[in-house]
Amino acid sequence: MPIVALANQKGGVGKTTLTVHLGAWLSRQGQKVIAVDGDPQGNLTSWLLNGDLDDAGMFRLLVVGDPLRRVMRPVGGEWQLALLPGNFRTGEAMIFLAATRKPFSTVARSVQPLGEMADYVLIDMPPSRSAGFEELLFAADYVLIPTQLERLSLEGVGFMAHAGEDLRREHGRGPRLLGIVPNMARLQTIEHREQLEALVGVYGASVWPAIPLSVRVTEACSYGQSLFEFAPSEPVTAALAKVAERFLDNIGGRR
């Protein structure tokens, strides 16, 4: 089943927030979801495991050679999904693979079997300049790009929109663009309205509904919950649900 990388060249655009809430929403619809923490910061792992960053699952998979089923963590409670956890040792793993001249496809070959274990696999990607970024992106079928409506973040969109094409040209395959999600939007400001209009002008229907800026996101993370549990009636929660519905429709329809 589809493997989707959530990626942007720029950090701080809400990749983890979107990964968490897509996973939570899909699992609530009865879908089997695996979330992969590919970022050495381990933010996805911390959110889903309520601050526990001790499990270097990605490192054990890529360097130690532990099988996938041994490194997976079931996440119960409201989540009802599985996690391939990561922490700072994920970065060490990527550097080790490069230093030992492992084939470019090594990471993808390790991660892609997850597609046979779940309905959807969501990869929370590191920033693009991190070691192993392209190797991890190579494992994905699609890329979903969260962005802030600010110049530096939007420059990252342009980079990511062509990253899959570059991989296909150089390595024979690469992810297709699934969509672009404006995040932390302040559409009451002229700047964000103009930036959104410009983004739609370039990418058209690939631009999905905007998610408004809200302090509720960081509060939910602090309590180890999703917004669907923590603040179900907030506008930001409704916006995330709309994005999740768009995800399900665009990636192949409801099942």
Kindly report the three-state secondary structure assignment for every residue of 227-242.
HHHHCCCCHHHHHHHH
Q: Answer whether 64's CB lies under 8 Å from 10's CB.
A: no
- Does the pLDDT value for residue 255 go beyond 70? no
Structure confidence at residue 45 as a pLDDT band (50, 70, 90): very high
d(CA 54, CA 20): 19
For residue 154, what pLDDT is reported? 83
Q: Which CATH class is domain 3-250?
A: alpha beta
d(CA 179, CA 206): 5
d(CA 50, CA 28): 20
d(CA 156, CA 162): 10
d(CA 245, CA 228): 14
Return the half-sphere exposure (C-beta side, CA atoms, 13 A cut-off) of residue 207: 20
CB count, 10 Å around CB of 251? 16
- Does the pLDDT value for residue 91 go beyond 60? yes
Mean pLDDT of the chain: 93
For residue 162, what pLDDT is reported? 87
- Does the pLDDT value for residue 35 go beyond 90? yes
Sequence-distant (6+) residues with CB within 8 A of 206 are 177, 179, 180
| Closest residue by Cα to residue 173 from 150, 143, 211 | 143
The model's pTM is 0.95
| Domains in the chain: boundaries | 3-250
- Does the pLDDT value for residue 253 go beyond 60? no
Q: Tokens 């062509």 sit at which residue?
A: 162
- Does the pLDDT value for residue 239 go beyond 70? yes
d(CA 183, CA 149): 7
d(CA 190, CA 196): 10
